[in-house]
Amino acid sequence: MKYRYLGKSGLAVAMVGLGTATFGQSRWGCDESTALAILDAYADEGGNFIDTADKYGDQLGASEQIIGHWLAGQQRDDFVIASKCFFETSPDINARGLSRKHIIKACDASLKRLCTDYLDLYQMHVPDPFTPLDETLSTLDHLVRQGKVRYVGCSNYPAWQVAKAYGVAERHGLTRFILGQYLYNLLKRDIEAEILPACAESEVGVLCWSPLSGEMLTGKYSDSDTPPAQTRMAERSEVSSGRYKQWIQNSHEIVQHLVLIAERHKVKPAVVALAWLLNDVRISSVLVGVKRPDQIRELAKACDWVIPGEDWAALDELSRIRHPYPHGHKLLP
């Protein structure tokens, strides 16, 4: 396993992180015994970065609880544990969002479920349109000063809010975001227009969720109207219903070329897809979610396999998207 720093911080994480949205998710995830085996396999590969959220799992905090059971038998300081808050945790009107009240209560609940007295990274799951940014950032700064949280980050924030958060934190001397977590893969490159540059300018590292586009970049899907049985797309019908054929049509050429590169270099297509992302030094880590221990062992190889420049360029050209004005627009002097 190889490591990178999160943004401009001194916190080093595995370039392949473990996403745990599958833990405690009965329909398209895995049960606790399998999740514990996955955690063991990840640690055996040298992985140290485990990402969760209070909303992951069939029940509130299910993923965190599983990780907490496992973490109780480990050397806590050997791992970087990241969680998130925002979503509703009870019927109470204040049990949601990024207010001071909810963040503090949600953080304490996550710490209890994770069987730890601190989080290495606490992320705001989505932006809150109703809570002032300075209230959110000052609350996070308070948690850092208390020792409950070491670093803070955001997730799914637009570029302007990343830049604004940097300015608010600098102006008021508050703890800054060191990381932004975003949907990014060969089939979904929207963040390249605004978000990636904003994160780089704001000294924020980028963490990719869904780097394999829901298994689309594993090469296992055929050119048909419906996904194969027992695949994640088939199990998550609310995501794939009515859109699978369109996804196949839009991605078929890219995936075909990905498979050819993988066959030529004798690696899995998923490893090529992850290596393509990690070729960009702005990407601190990619988060992979798995249902079996052998999958994490295979995907960890993306840290050690470097995609050749000509293969990276070919995939880049095939998957490139045209961003709207003013990107790529030649302005008169």
Give me the active site residues, please: 56
DSSP string, 75-131: -GGGSEEEEEE-S--SSSTTSSSS-HHHHHHHHHHHHHHTT-S-EEEEEESS--SSS
E-strand ranges in 91-176 read 119-124, 149-155
Report how far apart, in Å, the C-alpha atoms of 7 and of each of 90, 211, 315 are. 34, 19, 26
Interatomic CA distance for residues 193 and 191, integer angstroms: 5
Interatomic CA distance for residues 275 and 209, integer angstroms: 14
Reference 136, options 108, 171, 177, 196; nearest CA is 177
Tokens for 14, please give them: 């595995």
Tokens for 139, please give them: 């609350």
Interatomic CA distance for residues 151 and 9, integer angstroms: 9
Angle at which helices 62-71 and 100-113 cross, to 10°: 50
Strand partners, 177: 152
